Each structure stands twice: as C-alpha cells, then as structure tokens.
Amino acid sequence: MGNVSFQPCKAPAFSMDKCKVNMGSSGRIPSLDGLRAVSICMVVIGHCSKTITGLSNGAYMFLGFVGAGRLGVSIFFVISGFLITTLLVREQLSTHTISLKDFYIRRAFRIFPGFYAYWLVAFVLALLGYIQLSRSDLISAAIYIWNYVPRSVDTWFLGHTWSLSVEEQFYLLWPLILKLSGPQRGKWAAFAVVVTAPFIRLGSYFLLPSTRPRIGMMLHTRADSLMIGALLALICLNEDHLRILKRWVSSWLIPVVAPCFLVIDTLLTMHFKGGYVLSIGYSLQNLMIALLLAHVVFYDKTILGRILNYPVVVHVGLISYSLYLWQQLFLTTNNATFSGLFPWNIVCAFAAAELSYYMLERPFLRWRKRFSNVQDNAAPRQHIPSERGVEQFAASASA
C-alpha cells in the first residue's frame, strides 16, 4: 500500500490549552518519567528482597507487595504502547505517512547500545565461568526471541530479556499495522487485541500445554498490555472521546483506587494463580494502569503528580531502562561476590545504570539525529491545526 493519508479530527489532539499537560524544559512529560521510576523501583525491590537476610516474615511479605516486579513490567508496557503510538500519530499528522525506516533507526539508537553492552558483559562473564549461560540463551536474547524459546532451566542473568523481546516484537509489528490501517482503524485493531487477549491466553493454556510456562511472556498473550496504551493514545485524537476520558480520570479516587486494586491484584494472584491472571487478572491490571497513566498526564498538579515530578524521581525514570538492564547482575542470590550483597548490590546496580545512561544512551540519542530524516515540523501549521501540542507531547517518546 502507498502512503496513508489522515484527516485530523475536528479538534486537536493533546493541544496544550485543552490537555493541560505540564511539559518540562526538555520537552518531556515529567509525570511519565516519574511513573517509570515507580515501575523500576517495584522491580528493584522485588529482586533485591531476596538478597536481604534476617528479615521477619511480615517484612518479607511487605516487600513482596511493594516489589511486585510483574506489575512494574506491566506499567512499562502500557507506557511504551502509549508513547510509541503518540510518536507515530504525530509523524502521520505531520507527514501524512509513517516512515518505518526512520522509526526503526530511532528505536535501534535508543535500545541497542545499552542492551548489547549488557549482553556483551554477560557473554564475557559466561566465557570466564562466572555465570552459566547456554548458547541458546545468548542467541535467543541477542535476537529478541527469548520469550518464545522453550527452556528446562531458568537462566537468571538474561531472564529479564523476555520483556525486552515483547517490546521489540511490538515495535516490529505495530508501526506497520498503524501505517496501513491509519489511526481510526488502528484504534479498532488495538481494541480488538485488548478484548481478545484473555481468550488467547486461556486458549494457549488449554490447547497448547507446552506453552504454559511462557504464557505471561509471549507477545500474542501479553500484547494487550502494550495495546491498551496504544488505544489510550488513539482515543485522545477525538475531542469528544478525550473530553469523556478526562472526566473519567479527573477524580482524586483514581490514584487511590488504582494502587489499592494493584495490592488486591497481588493477593488474588497469590491465591488463584493462573486461574485469575490469565482470565481477567492481566486485563484488569492493564485497565487500572491505563487510568492511572491518564490521570498523571492530564492532572499533574495533584499530590501524586507533584511526587512524580520531583527531580530525583524523574531522574530515576530517565535511567529506568539502564537500571532494568543492569540490576539483573547484582540483585540476585546467584551473585556470590561483594557486588551481590545487600545493600551494596543496589549501589552497584544504580552505578552501572548511571554509567550506561551517560556513556551509552545519551551519546547515541544525539548521534541518531544524523540518520533520521523525520523533521519536527514537516508540514505547515495551517495544514495541521494546533499540532504543536501533539509534537510537544510526543517529544518524550522520541527522547
């Protein structure tokens, strides 16, 4: 198919005067960086809790609730679907098409440097005999198919690449679908994935028993976590839908009910396990995360918004990708060295993340501009009413 034209809705999406989005001086959305910080802290606490000795059962139980790493990953997924879709729609509004080449270049410069640096370190440690990794582990992680490769033994040091594989597979497919379908039909495609995902998970469980250990990891069984974020971004293109959404998420109850539900979600998961998670668990979890995300985006001056915008919290969100990569080396009982002992393992994880962010991520983000042809103002303003809001809002996705 050729270029897909798109006629904007009668009202602008994400115009600054309507959405009241508080943009930071860098063009990012601080509330979302703060939400990323919450996500990565859940992962860090969950992994680190296993390295702390001498705690009471009550303390371990509390850390288990706070450190629900699977919830943290789900939050990452919803944010990713939301921001990537916003970036793609911004490009389509500006140029009347989506350049897949430029999109993949941007993603490669954003993701590959940090990831392959970590992969190389893991490879060297395996060669030296410090950690155990098979050839299959290394290859499946390197080409982002970890989540689809059966394995009899869990490999910790590359185990977190399952979520990176899900995201890369999403990046490979969703831009093409959105380019061919356009935002309106793309919205229905996203909605279809969100609705059918529970049935796909249950079908995989009963019809394909061999896939049961990976149901929470495969793209086709977890895509709804990403697609509900994409659906949220597409809903906001329509003024009427945006108005309804903002009214729904304006209540102060959202930042109260959503965290309370996520605690209940953890209890239900512990008690009912797959019977709850695969049927309605993931779906309810995704919905609550999406509502919370919308709340902090549109109403960032609330108490929760101010917390998420606090500079230290924002910074943790900025390094969250690097921290997610490198914490796997340190926050585990499989690391018997000094760097695996609490609390030094947390210090080492953050130090490695800071080094990766400043020495790899930021330089490559600057260099990628030389290889991408997408311009911020690719179309005259009179052709796209108030697209400045869309561009500013999407800036965080490209950063």
pTM of the model: 0.86
CA distance 350 to 2: 46
Residue 335 has pLDDT above 70, yes or no: yes
3-state SS class at 31: helix
**At a CB cut-off of 8 Å and minimum separation 6, what does 338 contact?**
344
Q: Mean of the pLDDT values across residues 306-321?
A: 94
- Is residue 365 exposed (0-12), middle (13-18) or buried (19+ Cβ within 10 Å)? middle
pLDDT band of 387, cuts 50, 70, 90: very low
Residue 399 has pLDDT above 50, yes or no: no
Check if the beta carbon of residue 122 is closer than 8 Å to that of residue 332. Answer: no
Express each pLDDT in 104-114 by its tens digit. Answer: 999 999 999 99
Residue 9 lies in a domain: no
Q: φ, ψ for residue 18 (rounded to 5)? A: -100, -40
Residue 76 lies in a domain: yes
What's the CA dihedral at 224, 226, 231, 233 to 10 degrees?
Answer: 170
Residue range of the domain that includes 74: 16-96+168-354+388-398
**At a CB cut-off of 8 Å and minimum separation 6, what does 187 contact?**
231, 234, 235, 237
The DSSP code sequence of 174-243 is HHHHHHHHHHHHHHHHHHHHHHHHHHHHHHHHHH-GGGGGGTTTSHHHHHHHHHHHHHHHHHTTSHHHHH
- Alpha carbon 271 to its chain centroid, in Å, reads 27
Residue 123 lies in a domain: no
Helices (H), the chain: 16-19, 30-48, 57-66, 69-95, 100-127, 135-142, 156-159, 161-207, 219-235, 239-249, 254-272, 274-276, 282-298, 303-308, 311-318, 320-330, 344-356, 362-367, 387-398
Predicted local distance difference test score (pLDDT) of residue 1: 43
What mean pLDDT is reported for the chain?
84
Please give the share of the chain, as a percent, with pLDDT higher than 90: 59
Residue with tokens 């910080």: 37
Q: Which residue has the higher pLDDT, 355 or 95?
A: 355
Residue 5 lies in a domain: no
Residue 7 lies in a domain: no
Residue 121 lies in a domain: no
pLDDT band of 372, cuts 50, 70, 90: low
Number of domains composing the chain? 1
Check if the beta carbon of residue 252 is closer than 8 Å to that of residue 232. Answer: no
Of 252-261, 288-297, 301-310, 343-352, which range is least confident? 252-261
Check if the beta carbon of residue 266 is closer than 8 Å to that of residue 71. Answer: yes
Q: φ, ψ for residue 33 (rounded to 5)? A: -60, -40
Residue 294 lies in a domain: yes
Residue 234 lies in a domain: yes
List the Cα angle 396/397/399 in 5-degree steps.
Answer: 65
Q: Mean of the pLDDT values across residues 177-198?
A: 95
CA distance 89 to 237: 9
